[in-house]
Amino acid sequence: MGKRVGLEVTVAVAEAVALCRIDMAGVYPITPQSHIAEHLSNLVADGVLDAEFVTVESEHSAMSAVIGASATGARSYTATASQGLLLMNELLPIASAMRLPICMAIANRAVSGPLNILNDHSDIMPQRDTGWITLFVENGQEAIDLSIQAFKIAEHKDVMLPVCVNIDGFQLTHMVEPVELPTQEEVDKFLPPFTPHATLHPAKPVTMGAFSMSDYFAEIMKAKDEAIKNSKKVILEVWDEWGKMFGRNYKAVETYQAEDAEILMLTMGSMGETAQVAIDELRGKGIKAGLVKLRLWRPFPFEEIRATLKNAKKLIVTDRACSFGGPGGPVFSEIKSALYAGDNHPAMYNFIYGLGGRDVPVQDFTGMFEKVIADTDNKAKDTYEFWGVRE
C-alpha cells in the first residue's frame, strides 16, 4: 500500500492514470479538468510515463485521437468537462459502437449558457444514451480508485466498452485531499496488459467502424445494449477484487443509515458526503432518515435500486441537472422508471439543486427533509422543484 499524501484531486487522478501505464493520452485542457492534462503532460515530458501525449486542437480531436489510438491497441485516455464533453458528443457513440475500451475523466461542470465554469451534472446527463459505462465518485480517493478500475472494467474481454468517471468540478477536482495512491506493483498486479479485440495493423488488415444500413443497424444497437447491460457483472467483480486487494469496497448503490429509514434521500457524486452530515443531524432529532448514493449510472442498476428502496415510505431524489420541459431531473425520472415495475412505490419528491456551482450546505439537505416530512398527504408527486431559487 502506498503512503497517504496530500494531493490535489486532479493531480492524484493523473498519477493514478500513469500507474495504469497508459500508452496514449489525447487531452485538450478545459476548466476544471485542465490539471489532469497538465500533470499527465508533465509526467510524459519528465520521462516518468512512457506514453504518447497528443496535444490536440479541440475535444472533438481529442476523442477522435483516442478512438484511433485505441483501435491500434493502445491503452488510451482522455479527460474533459462541460463544453468539451459536448464537443466530443458525436464521437462518444462511435467509441462505444466500435467497442473501444477508452477511459475518460469528466470534471463535471455546468454547460453554457450562460457561461459558467462551476459544478453541476448538466454536461454528463445529455451523454446518457451514448453507450458509455458511467460512474460517479464522491471524494478524491474514489476518483483515484475508479480511474484505475475503469481500465480493468473497460478492457475486460466480456465488456470492451468505454468508461467515464465523473468527478465533480472544483468541489472535488480542486480540493487537496489526503489520498493513498497504490504502488506500481499493486496496480500491475491488479491491471493486466491490454489485450484488444482487434487492432489496426498493416500485417492483418481489418475495417473498423464500417458503414451499416437498415439491414444490420438494429442488430448492432441490440448487441451494444446487451454488452453494456452485461458489463454490470464484470463491474461488480472488479469492485469485489479491488475491495479484497485494497480494503475499499464499492457498490452500484451505496447507503448510509438506510437500513431502517422511512424517508430516504438519493444523491449522486460529491453531495453525498454533505448529505451524510444532514442525516446525522436528523437522526439526532429522532427522524428515521437515510441516504442512498448512486455510483453506477450506466448500466443502470435496476435490481439494486429496487432492493435498496423496498421499504422507503418517502423518497427524495436530488438532481444536479434539469430536463427542461420534461419529467424534472434525469435521476428522478430514472428512479421512478426503476420503481414502476417494483413492489414498493414510495411518495417521490425531486429537488434540482446545486446548479452552476451554487453552494449546498448541510441545512439545505435538512431543509429538503423537513419540507417532505411536512407534506402529509404522502401521495407520489409527479413534480419537481428548483431548490433554493429566489422567487
Partner 1 sequence: MALKTWKELPVGCVVSEPGSASEYHTGSWRSQRPVWNDAKCIKCGICYVFCPEGCVQQAEDGLFKANLDYCKGCGICAHECWPRAITMVEEG
- Interacting residues toward partner 1 by CB under 8 A: 97-100, 160, 197-198, 205-208, 210, 212, 215-216, 219-220, 222-223, 226
285-323: b or e for each residue (b if 16 or more CB lie within 10 Å)?
eebebbbbbbbbbbbbbbebbbebbeebebbbbbbbbbb
What secondary structure letter does DSSP report for 380?
P
Question: 3-state class of 254 per DSSP?
Answer: strand
Query: Of the two residues 217 and 370, which places its CB atom closer to partner 1 in the complex?
Result: 217
Between 129 and 215, name the residue whose CB sits nearer to partner 1. Answer: 215
Judge whether 268 and 331 are in contact, CB under 8 Å.
yes
With helix as H, strand as E and coil as C, how does 340-367 read? HCCCCCCEEEEEECCHHHCCCCHHHHHH
Please report how close the Cβ of residue 116 comes to partner 1 at its closest, in angstroms: 37
> CB-wise, 208 or 373, nearer to partner 1?
208
CA distance 314 to 246: 36
**Distances, alpha carbon 385 to alpha carbons 108, 182, 391, in Å:** 22, 42, 12
The distance of closest approach from Cβ of residue 213 to partner 1 in the complex, given in angstroms and rounded to an integer, is: 8
Which lies closer to partner 1 via its Cβ, residue 95 or residue 111? 95
User: 343: how many CB neighbours lie within 10 A of its CB?
Assistant: 7
The CB-of-207 to partner 1 minimum distance in angstroms stands at: 4
H or E stretch including 177?
strand 176-180
Phi-psi region of 287 (alpha: psi -120 to 50; beta: other; left: phi over 0): beta
Rounded CA gap, 211 and 220, in Å?
Answer: 11
Residue 14 — φ and ψ, nearest 5°?
-60, -40
CB 326 within 8 A of CB 334: no
Q: Nearer Cβ to partner 1, position 160 or 258? A: 160
What CA–CA distance (Å, rounded) separates 119 from 175?
Answer: 13
Cβ-based nearer residue to partner 1, 115 or 218: 218
CB of 200 to partner 1, least distance (A): 10
* CA distances for 53 relative to 28, 39, 163, 167, angstroms: 11, 11, 20, 22
- Which long-range contacts link 281-284 to residues 24+ away (Cβ below 8 Å)? 281/362, 281/366, 282/366, 282/369, 283/257
* Closer Cβ to partner 1, 215 or 343, answer by number: 215
Only one residue has cell 487492432, namely 199
Q: How far is the CB of 217 from partner 1 (least distance, A)?
A: 10
Q: What is the dihedral of CA 100, 105, 107, 113, to 10 degrees?
A: -10
Least separation in angstroms between residue 130's CB and partner 1 is 15
Which lies closer to partner 1 via its Cβ, residue 207 or residue 376?
207
Smallest gap from Cβ 160 to partner 1, in A, equals 6
CB of 75 to partner 1, least distance (A): 17
Which CB atom, from 35 or from 99, has the smaller least distance to partner 1? 99
Taking the complex as a whole, the smallest distance from the CB of residue 98 to partner 1 amounts, in Å, to: 5
Tell the smallest beta-carbon distance from residue 238 to partner 1 (Å). 19
